[in-house]
């Protein structure tokens, strides 16, 4: 397949961090200055346009590092990343990040937050109307004049999603976006994600620690090994339509396998 049919190509990406401090980030023991920490070890995979990729792996295995490299915020020690066949050399407005913590601007209302994103590409006369349209998609149209601290954590995440979509990026990077939410809100957020993605069809790379979330949402699920990290397993779930029942059948079996791959017992 010619290179430009993939949205993202990750080719033999290796990342080594060099210890710049006397004390390790990972343990209490002192490490020699200059000690090398091999985090990503020859990672390769391709992402098709519009694909929803879930990445799971134990804490510290290098998931955020991998996303930082793909998005252009960091550089690989070896290997390369291409988007639309072009080598990534830095961040780009067509690639948006959503992190674990709320990053709405606290001095702006929910409506103003969305407008500040829309301003970059929407005509002034239609700004208000478009803003309401985006808020309606996440059912927040009645909270236009609320400030971020006046809405719940889940609503904040939805507003952030709406703002990210208002910027109309081609790729969305999501680093444990729902991790700080309670279980029930997280489940609701999964449904919202799927509804939005059915409309917007973005290419998404989504990090989670939640195996069920990965199996419920992903077209592909990448399981990373511990450091130095490699791709331990890739599940292709693109043949499973939504809504998915992950408790039984083939998906139930895949879910159990994913738990075991992560070293967790699926039956407790």
User: Which residues of the shown chain bind Mg ion in the complex (CB under 5 A)?
Assistant: 64
Our CB check for ligand ATP shows the closer of 1 and 28 to be: 28
Our CB check for ligand ATP shows the closer of 14 and 37 to be: 37
Minimum CB–partner distance for residue 232 and ligand ATP (Å): 13
**End-to-end CA distance of the chain, in Å?**
44
**Residue 61 touches which member of ligand ATP, Mg ion, none, C-beta under 5-8 Å by kind:** ligand ATP
Which two structure tokens, joined as six digits, stand for 156?
Answer: 């904040």
Q: Which stretch binds ligand ATP (CB under 6 A): 5-13, 54-62, 164-172, 250-258?
A: 54-62
Which two structure tokens, joined as six digits, stand for 8?
Answer: 């993202």
Minimum CB–partner distance for residue 31 and ligand ATP (Å): 11
Q: Does 177 interact with ligand ATP (rule: CB under 6 A)?
A: no
Our CB check for Mg ion shows the closer of 97 and 143 to be: 97
Dmax over Cα atoms in the chain, in whole Å?
60
Minimum CB–partner distance for residue 142 and ligand ATP (Å): 34
What is the 8-class DSSP label of residue 145?
A: T
Please confirm whether the linkage preceding 63 is cis (ω < 30° from 0): no
Query: Residue 23 to residues 20, 33, 227: CA-CA distances in angstroms?
Result: 9, 8, 19
Backbone phi, psi, residue 60, to 5°: 85, 5
> What is the distance of C-alpha 83 from the center of its chain?
16
**Residue 181 touches which member of ligand ATP, Mg ion, none, C-beta under 5-8 Å by kind:** none
Q: How many residues bind ligand ATP (CB under 6 A)?
A: 13
Half-sphere exposure of 6 (CA within 13 A, CB side): 17
Our CB check for ligand ATP shows the closer of 61 and 96 to be: 61
CA 228/CA 241 separation, integer angstroms: 34
Backbone phi, psi, residue 165, to 5°: -70, -30
Minimum CB–partner distance for residue 64 and Mg ion (Å): 3
What is the 8-class DSSP label of residue 179?
A: T
Our CB check for ligand ATP shows the closer of 25 and 87 to be: 25
H or E segment to which residue 11 belongs: strand 8-18
Minimum CB–partner distance for residue 209 and ligand ATP (Å): 6
Minimum CB–partner distance for residue 67 and ligand ATP (Å): 8
Query: Helices 127-137 and 110-118 sit at what angle, rounded to 10 degrees?
Result: 120
* Residue 97, helix vs strand vs coil: strand
Minimum CB–partner distance for residue 37 and Mg ion (Å): 15
Site string for ligand ATP, 58-97 (x = CB under 6 A): -xxxxxxx--------------------------------
**Residue 150 touches which member of Mg ion, ligand ATP, none, C-beta under 5-8 Å by kind:** none
**Residue 60 touches which member of Mg ion, ligand ATP, none, C-beta under 5-8 Å by kind:** ligand ATP
Sites of contact with ligand ATP (CB under 6 A): 17, 25-26, 37, 39, 57, 59-65
């Amino acid at each position: 397949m010619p290179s430009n049919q993939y949205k993202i190509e990750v080719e033999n990406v290796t990342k080594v961090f060099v210890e710049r401090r006397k004390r390790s980030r990972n343990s209490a023991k002192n490490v020699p200055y200059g000690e090398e920490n091999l985090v990503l070890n020859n990672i390769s995979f391709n992402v098709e346009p519009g694909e929803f990729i879930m990445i799971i792996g134990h804490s510290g295995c290098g998931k955020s590092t991998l996303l930082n490299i793909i998005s252009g915020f960091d550089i690989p020690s070896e290997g390369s990343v291409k988007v639309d066949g072009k080598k990534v050399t830095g961040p780009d407005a067509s690639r948006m990040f959503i992190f674990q913590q709320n990053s709405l601007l606290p001095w702006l209302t929910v409506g103003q937050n969305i407008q500040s994103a829309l301003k970059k590409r929407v005509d002034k006369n239609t700004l208000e109307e478009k803003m309401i349209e985006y808020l309606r998609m996440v059912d927040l149209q009645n909270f236009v004049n609320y400030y971020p601290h006046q809405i719940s954590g889940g609503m904040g995440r939805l507003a952030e999603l709406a703002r990210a979509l208002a910027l109309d990026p081609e790729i969305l990077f999501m680093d444990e976006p729902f991790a700080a939410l309670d279980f029930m809100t997280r489940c609701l957020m999964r449904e919202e994600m799927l509804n939005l993605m059915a409309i917007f069809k973005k290419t998404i790379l989504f990090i989670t620690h939640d195996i069920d979330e990965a199996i419920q949402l992903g077209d592909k699920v990448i399981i990373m090994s511990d450091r130095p990290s490699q791709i331990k397993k890739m599940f292709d779930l693109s043949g499973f339509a939504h809504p998915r029942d992950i408790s039984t059948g083939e998906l139930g079996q895949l879910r159990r396998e994913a738990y075991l791959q992560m070293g967790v017992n699926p039956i407790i």
